[in-house]
């Protein structure tokens, strides 16, 4: 199913919505974190213009055939940005989940809860038959989130991921309908 307009998702604690101008400064701040930059292919150094370009492109990428449904993960109470999560199109029945958590929101279950909302949306609304997770070998924090959601690690692919011009070995995991925890 193709959704031409972005949607919002919530569990009462978190609100996931299309990133917008109010997210530019917190995105810029989060992307200064060396741990985030180690695993996520953001520009280094990361500045406000990068965040503005990213936010400005999200609506068009949402509706694109090869696009990405990107959600700003925010605190439902005060609206503060906590993380980003997206479903990257692979084909009509499969997407890849990608995410990062801001340093100030880590170790609080934010990404596990946000990932659960997004995967449920993928299976129940988009009728996906599979969601994939990819990460560089050694990205244990990302794997912990994927594992809590029910993803099953399927293997290691040599030189699979392109990260700032280098090829990295990558872990791959899959989640099928009915496996979400």
Mean pLDDT by 10 residues, the chain (181 residues): 80 98 98 96 96 95 85 98 95 93 98 98 95 97 98 97 92 98 96
Q: What are phi and psi of 147, to 5 degrees?
A: -65, -40
**Extents of the domains making up the chain:** 9-129
Task: State the pLDDT at residue 63.
Answer: 73
Strands across the sheet with 166-175, in order? 9-10, 14-17, 68-75, 81-91, 94-101, 130-136, 166-175, 152-163
* Rounded Cα gap, residues 14 and 137, in angstroms: 29
Task: State the pLDDT at residue 92.
Answer: 82
Cβ count near 104 (within 10 Å): 13
Tokens at 137, concatenated: 């070998």
Task: State the pLDDT at residue 25.
Answer: 98
Domain 9-129 CATH (choose: 3.40.630.30, 2.40.40.20, 1.10.220.150, 3.90.550.10): 3.40.630.30
């Amino acid at each position: 199913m193709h959704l031409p307009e972005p949607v919002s998702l919530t569990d009462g604690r978190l609100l996931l919505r299309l990133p917008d101008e109010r997210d530019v400064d917190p995105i810029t701040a989060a992307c200064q974190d060396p741990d985030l930059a180690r695993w996520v292919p953001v520009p280094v150094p990361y500045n406000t213009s990068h965040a503005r370009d990213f936010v400005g492109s999200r609506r068009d990428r949402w509706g694109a055939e090869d696009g990405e449904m990107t959600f700003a993960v925010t605190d439902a109470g005060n609206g503060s940005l906590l993380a980003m999560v997206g479903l990257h199109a692979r084909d009509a029945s499969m997407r890849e989940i990608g995410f990062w958590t801001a340093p100030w929101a880590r170790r609080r279950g934010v990404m596990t809860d946000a990932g659960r909302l997004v995967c449920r949306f993928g299976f129940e609304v988009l009728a996906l038959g599979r969601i994939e997770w990819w990460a560089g070998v050694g990205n244990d924090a990302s794997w912990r989130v994927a594992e809590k959601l029910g993803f099953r690690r399927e293997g290691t692919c040599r030189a699979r991921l392109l990260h700032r011009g280098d090829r990295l070995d990558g872990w791959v995991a899959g989640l099928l309908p009915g496996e979400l925890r």
